[in-house]
């Protein structure tokens, strides 16, 4: 896919119940790099292989969950065009001034029909991954914790899945990669959407609980690193959900766990390359267990019910 509009998930702001405890978790267990705090007390992190200043922002709050989800777009001209397209589609937008997030340019914010707050931006300070661009080394030395490559995708829940799906496809240019159909064989229960050559950049699941987060996902390079992530989570006595195992949908390998505030996250590896001339993969209701958890072929209760 020619990436000419929305390029990738760029950042998200996560609500945590104890900021200092969460900072320790995301530094020592997740292995993200701390990038400092802003004047409002928010704490910024990046994966070591990411080039932009941050991808995860932590905010002290009295309940867990996600405040907003940000996608990076190609350039300022693209940002202006996408804002115009959103307005033409009937979506209200708000311009957030440059600097409101550390090292981040102006952002265009809007709400999706599922109640989630999204934003688009074109500029963020590049800090690099420490390897440089001239004759770099092949690996980043001294990594600790899980140390993912990048923030990869989100799965979020809300009632108007159809509206959010159509908005992302018709306005933002995402492709429908995979879907689960409900028992009627027609209605989408869940959809996996891509703005890139990845199997998905975001997933929407139909759920009466609007504006909820199921998980944020962090990408690892190998199945062995997913297994190591399971070891690290156990060493630190993190709360596990399920895994390690494989998805039928996207064919990725995975483990799910919870941060100290109860926000679920995934460490994810694999998934096939997607191109826009590929047909959408369809999963029927009777095969939903195998689609989500290929090995066990059934869903656990926690995975179905817990969102923040």
Active-site residue set: 153, 200, 215, 247, 256, 266
**R_g of the chain computed on alpha carbons:** 18
Q: How far is CA 284 from CA 142, 155, 158, 164, 253, in A?
A: 45, 19, 20, 21, 21
Which tokens sit at 42?
Answer: 């928010």
The residue to which tokens 């941050």 are assigned: 54
How many alpha carbons lie under 13 Å from residue 261 in its C-beta half-sphere?
A: 28
Sign of CA dihedral 266, 272, 278, 284: negative
CA–CA separation, 108 vs 117, rounded Å?
Answer: 11
Sign of CA dihedral 129, 127, 34, 148: negative
Structure-derived torsion over alpha carbons of residues 252, 254, 260, 263, reported in degrees to the nearest 10: 40
Structure-derived torsion over alpha carbons of residues 127, 7, 86, 178, reported in degrees to the nearest 10: -140
């Amino acid at each position: 896919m020619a990436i000419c509009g929305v390029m990738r998930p760029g950042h998200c702001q996560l609500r945590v119940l104890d900021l200092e405890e969460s900072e320790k978790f995301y530094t020592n267990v997740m292995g993200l790099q701390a990038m400092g705090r802003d004047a409002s007390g928010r704490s910024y992190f990046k994966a070591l292989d990411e080039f932009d200043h941050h991808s995860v922002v932590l905010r002290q709050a009295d309940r867990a969950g996600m405040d907003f989800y940000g996608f990076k777009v190609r350039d300022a001209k693209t940002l202006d065009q996408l804002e115009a397209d959103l307005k033409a589609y009937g979506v209200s937008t708000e311009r957030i001034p440059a600097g409101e997030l550390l090292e981040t340019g102006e952002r265009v914010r809007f709400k999706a029909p599922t109640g989630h707050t999204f934003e688009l931006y074109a500029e963020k300070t590049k800090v690099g991954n420490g390897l440089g661009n001239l004759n770099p080394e092949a690996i980043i030395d001294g990594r600790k914790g899980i140390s993912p490559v990048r923030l990869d995708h989100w799965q979020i829940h809300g009632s108007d899945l159809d509206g959010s799906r159509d908005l992302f496809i018709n306005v933002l240019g995402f492709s429908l990669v995979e879907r689960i159909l409900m028992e009627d064989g027609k209605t989408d229960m869940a959809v996996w959407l891509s703005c890139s050559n990845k199997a998905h950049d975001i997933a929407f699941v139909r759920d009466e609980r609007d504006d909820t987060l199921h998980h944020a996902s962090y990408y690892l390079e190998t199945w062995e690193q997913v297994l190591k992530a399971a070891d690290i989570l156990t060493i630190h006595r993190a709360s596990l959900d399920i895994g390690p195992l494989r998805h039928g949908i996207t064919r990725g390998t995975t483990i799910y766990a919870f941060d100290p505030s109860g926000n679920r996250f995934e460490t994810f590896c694999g998934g096939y390359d997607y191109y826009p001339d590929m047909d959408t993969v369809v999963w029927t209701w009777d095969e939903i267990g195998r689609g989500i958890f290929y090995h066990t072929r059934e869903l656990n209760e926690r995975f179905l019910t817990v969102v923040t």
